[in-house]
Amino acid sequence: MTDQLTPVDRAKFAAAHCAADFVQDGMRVGLGTGSTAAWLVRRLGQRVRQEGLRIIAVPTSTRTSQLAREVGINVVSLDEARWLDLTIDGADEFDAELTLIKGGGGALLQEKIVATASDQMIVITDAAKEVATLGAFPLPVEVIPFGWQASKALVEEILASVDVMGRQSSLRMNGDRPYMTDEGNYILDLALGRIGNPRQLAMVLNQVPGVVENGLFVDIADQVVIGHADGKCETRDLSSGVAEVKMSQVDLADTHNIFSDL
């Protein structure tokens, strides 16, 4: 199985495998959405089956919920769990302060709600997602369908007054129809190139009528686990205000074991 994975997939697997070790028996855990988060869900399912790990999970999308149930994880709603010990999720970009761009998978609203309802958030990613300045990845902004073009025009007007390189926005499509989130909303993708002040941009975007939420995660993530294609993991912990770095190694042969039990 390992030989069939791309280097990026091996890195994602390594990050997810390392991050799964932070989950302890009895925890209430938020499960992210996306390809890296899917590896995490499979690994946690393996621990449930093989180790008897008992957790309550709150998924951030219908896709993650379906996969979690398939691998034997106990899934509940956030209203049922009320508060979470830990959320583990991927990112489309992250910088040195662990400010993130998320929402490439279309689940940014649930992801942000779940992450902020947790004592801790761990980001799992590959090294290619680390950037000096956010903005190369298009910033998703979730808007309600009613009057979305007016919201789009207001967003573009705001971009002229903030520190970004580009000001183009486009409606995310699913074939010939607008992409629709789990909440029935649309997504605008902002091609900004560079975001000079993520905190300011996040605040002003959410003041636009019709905008539900944006994909900038500021002061939410505590740790990042960066996977590498050779199975190495680098964990950076910023929760104390000073970056603490730990290295570990994952056996990539375990990718076969994760799938063989399904």
Is 111 annotated as catalytic? Answer: yes
What contacts 66, CB < 8 A, 6 or more positions away? none
Distance CA 200, CA 197 (A): 6
Q: Is 133 annotated as a binding residue?
A: no
Which pLDDT score, from 0 to 100, does residue 257 have?
Answer: 57
pLDDT at 163: 96
- Residue 18 pLDDT: 96
95 assigned ligand-binding residue:
no
> Do the beta carbons of residue 123 and residue 235 sit within 8 Å?
no
Asked whether 258 and 38 are in contact (CB, 8 A), the reply is no
| Model pLDDT, residue 260 | 47
pLDDT per residue as tens digits for the range 5-25: 899 999 999 999 999 999 999
Q: 105 among the known binding-site residues?
A: yes
pLDDT for residue 146: 98
Residues (pLDDT < 50) of the chain are: 1, 260-262
Nearest of 34, 84, 109, 27 to residue 64 by alpha carbon:
34
DSSP per residue, 111-166:
HHHHHHTBS-EEEEEEGGGB-SSS-SSPEEEEE-STTHHHHHHHHHHHHTTSSBS-
Residue located via tokens 């995490």:
40
Listed by start position, the domains of the chain span 2-131+219-260, 139-215
- Is there a shared CATH topology between the 2-131+219-260 domain and the 139-215 domain? no
Give CATH for domain 139-215: 3.30.70.260
pLDDT of residue 242: 65
Q: Which CATH class is domain 2-131+219-260?
A: alpha beta
* pLDDT of the residue at 261: 46
Say which of 93, 111, 142, 213 is annotated catalytic. 111
Structure confidence by residue, pLDDT tens digits, 189-236: 999 999 999 999 999 999 999 999 999 999 999 999 999 999 999 999
Whether 196 has a binding-site annotation, put simply, is: no
pLDDT value, residue 262: 44
